[in-house]
Amino acid sequence: MRIFRKILLVLLFALIVIQFFRPDKNVSANQHPNAIEKHYTVPDNVNTILVKACNDCHSNNTKYPWYFNVQPVAWWLNDHVVDGKHDLNFDEFATYSLRKQYKRMDDVIELVKENEMPLESYTWLHNDAKLTATEKEAIVQWANTIRDTMQARYPIDSLVKKK
């Protein structure tokens, strides 16, 4: 029983100590000249969907819940944000090559259609981020519109790799 008590004390101490090691927050008050909406049309209904279901992980401005202040939860959340921004950052969209922009819109279409985005682990705690069929269709149509716009502006070989 003594060893069990010592283990609990060590774990409690470790839990207290890790509270002092926090990841930086993903919050930027800066203007985002490379944001997708500065270069492509984002209808109001799509913007609403992006804000509620995508931007926490795919932009430079995450709205953090209260439990972000508890470690190790904050590290786990931070990993999701870092991974999400690595895959697609709507605030940095115009910095991507044309090919990557085009591919990211393909990815948006595929992931939304296959119910892989938003992540299930995100929608557990953000129930309002679950997309309805209408919202999914709006996102897919919007991404297709961006792809069509790109095809009209640029030669196709600048958008897709030759096979």
Question: Does residue 91 sit in helix, strand or coil?
Answer: helix
Backbone angles phi, psi at 31, to 5 degrees: -70, 155
Backbone angles phi, psi at 126, to 5 degrees: -125, 75
Q: Is 162 a residue whose pLDDT tops 80?
A: no
Q: Find out whether 149 and 40 touch, Cβ atoms under 8 Å.
A: yes
Q: Find out whether 94 and 35 touch, Cβ atoms under 8 Å.
A: yes
Tokens read off for 125: 């705690």
Q: Is 16 a residue whose pLDDT tops 80?
A: no
Give residue 66's pLDDT band: very low, low, confident or very high (50, 70, 90): confident
Task: Please state the rounded mean pLDDT for residues 103-114.
Answer: 97
Query: How many residues appear in the chain?
Result: 163
Q: Among 41-45, 62-66, 99-103, which is the least confidently predicted range?
A: 62-66
Backbone angles phi, psi at 92, to 5 degrees: -120, 15
Give residue 29's pLDDT band: very low, low, confident or very high (50, 70, 90): confident
